[in-house]
């Protein structure tokens, strides 16, 4: 009897261990449950980045200008829509607006609160799930909260879109990009880093990039940069 062959057969027949899920879903649920991004105990509040006029208004102006430049409106997929205080101001510039977030209760709230014929909400983990079809993906201050493994999983899927509008909170001046973190409430500023999907180790390939807006925050808290990529 060939015991080696029996060993191989048994090993091959062993069930594979399930993949350990990323902690992102629970981390984001806790952010809204405990109002970790502020909001005076509002039901859902996605932080200063979604409500401070000095941050939001330049972003809305720049992205709206891009969207209305098309004779035939685009289908936009907002990948990480949050409380939808920003997305609600872009919907009417699009053919269809698909707003996605990982928190089920947040998406249920948004469905009840925001209505438009061309608006659809979906609850998805964008690092795990297939992304909705569309012309343009928006990721506004989403990747900055995620681990490098999750970012890599997401950007592997972005080639399905013609355009990507990416907003990231990064240090002002020179910094080493893409230092890894554990997914959660914070970002890479505390370790003097920020996400740059064109730099190693992501090396995302694009045909064109163009800065749409940049907001320098007070007290040396970095800069929020919005970049348009054509794929």
Question: What number is the average pLDDT over the span 189-198?
Answer: 96
- Give residue-wise pLDDT tens across range 121-155: 999 999 999 999 999 999 999 999 999 999 999 99
Confidence of residue 219 (pLDDT cuts 50, 70, 90): confident
- Give residue-wise pLDDT tens across range 45-96: 888 889 999 999 999 999 999 999 999 999 999 999 999 999 999 999 999 9
Reported for 52-56, long-range contacts at CB under 8 A and 24+ positions apart, including other chains, are 54/215, 55/215, 55/217, 55/224, 56/85, 56/86
**Which residues, in sequence order, are CB contacts of 185 under 8 Å at separation 6+?**
27, 31, 36, 37, 145
* Residues 210/186, Cβ–Cβ less than 8 Å: no
9 pLDDT more than 50: no
State the residue for tokens 């015991």.
3
What is residue 27's predicted lDDT score, i.e. its pLDDT? 80
Q: What angle (nearest 5°) sits at the alpha carbon of residue 42, between those of residues 185 and 59?
A: 65
**Domain 21-230 listed as CATH 3.40.50.150:** yes
What is residue 22's predicted lDDT score, i.e. its pLDDT? 63
Confidence of residue 168 (pLDDT cuts 50, 70, 90): very high
2 pLDDT more than 80: no
What is residue 6's predicted lDDT score, i.e. its pLDDT? 44
All structural domains of the chain with their residue ranges: 21-230
Three-class DSSP category at 139: strand
Other C-beta atoms within 10 Å of 164: how many?
23
Give the chain's end-to-end CA distance (angstroms, integer).
58
Average pLDDT, the chain: 89
């Amino acid at each position: 009897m060939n015991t080696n062959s029996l060993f191989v057969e048994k090993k091959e027949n062993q069930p594979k261990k399930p993949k350990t899920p990323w902690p992102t879903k629970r981390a984001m649920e806790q952010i809204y449950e405990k109002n970790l991004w502020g909001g005076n105990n509002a039901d859902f509040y996605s932080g200063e980045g979604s409500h401070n006029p000095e941050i939001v208004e330049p972003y809305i102006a720049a992205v709206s200008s891009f969207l209305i430049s098309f004779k035939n409106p685009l289908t936009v997929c907002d990948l990480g829509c949050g409380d939808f205080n920003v997305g609600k101001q872009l919907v009417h510039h699009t053919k269809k607006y698909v707003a996605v977030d990982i928190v089920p209760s947040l998406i249920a709230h948004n469905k009840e609160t925001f209505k438009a014929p061309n608006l659809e909400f979906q609850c998805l983990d964008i690092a795990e799930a297939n992304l909705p079809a569309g012309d343009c993906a928006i990721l506004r201050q989403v990747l900055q909260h995620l681990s490098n493994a999750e970012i890599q999983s997401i950007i592997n899927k972005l080639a399905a879109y013609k355009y990507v509008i990416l907003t990231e909170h990064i240090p002002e001046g020179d910094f080493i990009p893409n230092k890894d973190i554990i997914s959660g409430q914070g970002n890479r500023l505390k370790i003097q880093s920020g996400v740059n999907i064109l730099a190693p180790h992501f090396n995302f390939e694009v045909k064109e990039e163009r800065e749409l807006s940049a907001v320098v925050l007070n007290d040396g808290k970095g800069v929020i940069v919005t970049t348009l990529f054509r794929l």
